[in-house]
Amino acid sequence: MEKLDMLIIGAGPIGLACGIAAKNAGLSYAIVEKGCLVNSLYNYPVNMTFFSTAERLEIGGVPFMTLHNKPNRQEAVEYYRRVTAMYQLHVHLFQEVTQVQQTAVKEYIITTTKQVFTAANIVIATGFYDLPNLMGIPGETLDKVHHYYKDPHYYAFQKVLVVGAQNSAVDAALETWRKGATVTMVIKDKQIGERVKYWVRPDIINRIEEGSIQVYYESSITAITPHTVSLQTPNGALTIENDFVIAMTGYTPNFTLLKHLGVQLSDDAYLHPTYDDTTMQTNMPGIYLAGVVCGGMDTHKWFIENSRDHADKIVAHIITLQKDLVAIHS
């Protein structure tokens, strides 16, 4: 079995950037992804618009062309597909990593659901969008409860409860309402989130103030049944009729994989992984982090635009170590 210089886990934009950097440097590599190409972006709402402008989402020096001021999800998915094809990246899709073993000769054996790889280094670029934060309430496992929101048409003319106050929740509330849904929002705080896109926040506030969308601030869901949802509000408990719950409660990085690889996490609520920000290497030699996963639960720290350079840092460090090793043996 060929020993790779790098095995990259995650075929999102930053994982692809790591593959490009490795290829440009002449390193052997492979990218494995448990879902489709840029799986997290694919699972974004179909009508989502990015905060960032197109040039700040570019990787590999490939221009991101768009007709809009800010690109949308469809344009981004197509852009990263074209970049992957242009560089002929070694991407292995629909393969989940199931086991990682370190051998006595300081290499890693990575087993996926389809094959086995051997690599000197592993780059974790898994983002944070794969595991939803659960509410932990009765009825959350019902089919009517969705932790991912994609297409508003599905909810047309239904009674929809949206949980959350940030961008995903606001988009879901506005889009389903515009498709004819009766929309109620449940928000644990006193207001719509301040991070909501500046061109969207006035829209949701206006819809709430005019009574088009009902909202319960400082409230929470206590139980879900096939036809109702029970709430706890500042004015007491109540139960409302309901067809669907869209729970935009956020997502969690794959801490299980990080722990399995021996990456240390901070003791606070953010669970920041340990790494050197000049090389992106963790406390485990040969294990690197790239992209949003670096922030742990602090998911508003890293984005595509400010973590693209992680790829170059990682590749530069691996090349330096390889040169040092050659010098030792020469």
Tens-place pLDDT, residues 271-299? 999 999 999 999 999 999 999 999 999 87
d(CA 286, CA 284): 6
Question: For residue 203, how many C-alpha atoms fall within 13 Å in the half-sphere facing its CB?
Answer: 14
Calculate the alpha carbon distances from 110 to 22, 126, 131, 261, 303 in Å: 18, 15, 21, 11, 27
Q: Closest by alpha carbon to 119, among 267, 7, 276, 27?
A: 7
What does the pLDDT average to over 233-261?
Answer: 94
The answer for residues whose C-beta is within 8 angstroms of residue 62's C-beta and 6 or more apart is 79, 82, 83, 86
Per-residue pLDDT at 330? 64
Q: In 10 A of CB 283, how many CB atoms?
A: 12
What does the pLDDT average to over 164-180?
Answer: 96
d(CA 79, CA 329): 44
Instruction: List the strands of the sheet with 159-163, edge to edge.
Output: 145-146, 244-247, 159-163, 182-186, 214-216
Percent of the chain with pLDDT over 90: 85
Q: Closest by alpha carbon to 273, among 258, 287, 286, 284?
A: 258
Per-residue pLDDT at 299? 79
d(CA 213, CA 120): 54
Q: What is the DSSP letter of 134?
A: P
d(CA 261, CA 111): 13
Q: DSSP of 211-231, one letter per residue?
A: TSSEEETT-EEEEE-SSEEEE
- Phi first, then psi, for residue 55 (nearest 5°) are -65, -25
The answer for residues whose C-beta is within 8 angstroms of residue 104's C-beta and 6 or more apart is none
Q: Which residue has the higher pLDDT, 49 or 283?
A: 283
Length of the chain equals 330
Sole residue written with tokens 């593959």: 19
Beta strand pairing status for 228-233 and 220-224?
Answer: antiparallel
> What domains can be seen in the chain, in order of their start residue?
3-131+251-329 (3.50.50.60), 134-247 (3.50.50.60)
For the segment 140-157, what is each residue's pLDDT rounded down to a tens digit? 999 999 999 999 999 999
**Contact at 8 Å (CB) between 304 and 293?**
no
Q: Closest by alpha carbon to 325, among 5, 35, 102?
A: 5
84, burial (CB in 10 Å: exposed 0-12, middle 13-18, buried 19+): buried
Residue type at 13 in one-letter notation: P
Q: In the predicted model, is pLDDT for residue 32 greater than 90? A: yes
Per-residue pLDDT at 311? 98
Residue 326: pLDDT band (50, 70, 90) is confident
d(CA 324, CA 330): 10
For the segment 51-61, what is each residue's pLDDT rounded down to a tens digit? 899 999 999 99
d(CA 241, CA 227): 6
Question: CA 52: distance to chain centroid?
Answer: 16
